[in-house]
Amino acid sequence: MLFALAVVAVAVVALPWNADVAPWAPLELPTISAFTAEQIATIESYVNAVWLPSLLSIIAGPVAAVTVLLVPSLRQRLCSFGPARRPVLRDLLVGALLLVIVRVAALPWLLWTASVRREAGLLLTSWPEELLRWLAETAVYVVLGSTGIALALSVLRRAPRRGWIALVVLGVVAAALISAVVPLIQRLEGTQADARLAARVQAVAQDLGVDVGDVVIIETGDRSPVLNANVSGWGPTRAVTLYDTLAAGATEAEIDALVAHELIHVRENDVVIGSVLAVLGTGAVVAFAAALVLSPGVRRRLGARSSGDAPVIPLLVAVVLVGALAGTVLASTASRQIEARADHEAVAATGDPAAYDDLMVRLATTNRSTLTPPQWRYALFFTHPTPLQRLAATSSSD
C-alpha cells in the first residue's frame, strides 16, 4: 500500500499533467488535414491489420500464467517437475518451464504481427533471423526469470516471515538496475559511427545548455525503415540513442527537432522520473505477491506446504506478469504527459514549429502511426500523444 501511495504522490507532483492528452482527450482533430487521403488510407490499412495481433501478443503471456495458476490439474502437473529433495533445482526447472509456456503462448501473435509488418515494409529481416532473435530473447528471459524465482523461494524458505522484505528490496534494486542498463542493452543492436548525426546532437545540446551524455547511433536500417530516437539510462549510463535510418529518412531540420525533443527529456530528468515510478511500481507488485504467498489461506488453496514450496511459483509469475501489464497501462498515461511537454518545449527551444510539423508527419507516415485510435486503445496503451494531437499542440504553441 505504501508503494502504491508513493507512486500516486510522485505522479501528482512530478508529472506535467495536461488534459489535452488525458485518457478521455478528443482524438478526432482537424490537424488530420496535414495528411493526404492516400497517406491516411495507407496508415489505416496497416493499423487495422496490426492492432489485434499486437494486443494479443501483449496479453497472451499473462493470460497463460493465470490459466496455469487457476487450473489445478495444470498447476499440479507443472509443479511435479524436478526433484523434490533438491528444492533449488526444482524451482529452477518449474520456473523455467512456466516461463517457456508464457513465451510460447505469445509466439503465434508475434508471428502474426511480424507478418503484417513485413507486408507493410516495416520488417526487412528474414524469418530465420526473426526466429533466432526470438530464441535468444527467450533464453535470456527464461534464465534470468527462473533464477529470480529460485532465489525468491530460497529467501522465503530461509526467512518465512520476514523474507518478503528482502524480496521487495531485491525487486526494487532489479528495477533500478534494468533502467540504468537499457542503453547498454540497446547497443547490442549494433552501433555505427555517424559523425554528422552525433555532431547535430551535440550542437542542439549546446544550444539548449544540456549535458547530453553519450550519443549512440544504432544500426536498425537493415531490419526496419522505422525512424526513432530515445533517451535512456541515468547517471553515468545516460545516453541519447538515434536510429541510423534518420540519416537517410529525415531532413536536417527534422533531425534537429527530434533531437531537441529528446534533449528536453534530459533537461527535465524525465528518465529519472520514469525510473522512480517504475521502481515504486515494482515494489508494489512484489509486496502484493509476497502478501499472497504469506497468506495461509492462499497457500492452502494452492496445495503449498510453505511459502517456499513449488506450488507458489505459478502465483508469483502470474502476479508479476499481470502487475507488469497493469503497470504498462498506468505508465502510458504518465508517458503521454511527459511526451506532450517535450513536444511543447522542443518547439519553443528550436523556434521552428514548421520543422516539428514536418517531423510529426514524417514519423507518422514512415512508422505507420495510428492517427485516430479508438478511445480505449488510446487510454490503455498509447505512450505518446497521437500524431494529430502532437500537430495540434505544435500549432497552439506557434
- Are the beta carbons of 249 and 362 closer than 8 angstroms? yes
Q: What is the pLDDT at residue 137?
A: 94
Per-10-residue mean pLDDT for the chain, 398 residues long? 76 85 94 96 97 97 96 90 84 95 97 97 95 95 94 88 86 88 77 79 86 85 92 84 88 92 92 90 91 90 87 94 93 94 92 93 96 97 96 74
pLDDT at 215: 85
pLDDT of residue 99: 97
What pLDDT, on a 0 to 100 scale, did the predictor assign at position 53?
A: 98
For residues 43 and 372, is the Cβ–Cβ distance under 8 A? Answer: no
Q: Which pLDDT score is estimated for 212?
A: 81
Predicted local confidence at residue 397, as pLDDT: 54
Annotation says 262 is catalytic: yes
From residue 113, alpha-carbon distances to 117, 122, 130, 164, 373 in Å are 6, 11, 12, 39, 18
Looking at 130, 252, 262, 345, which residue is catalytic?
Answer: 262
Distance CA 366, CA 20 (A): 25
Please state whether beta strands 229-232 and 214-218 pair in parallel, antiparallel, or not at all (unpaired).
unpaired
Q: What pLDDT is stored for residue 396 in this prediction?
A: 56
Contact at 8 Å (CB) between 316 and 149?
A: yes
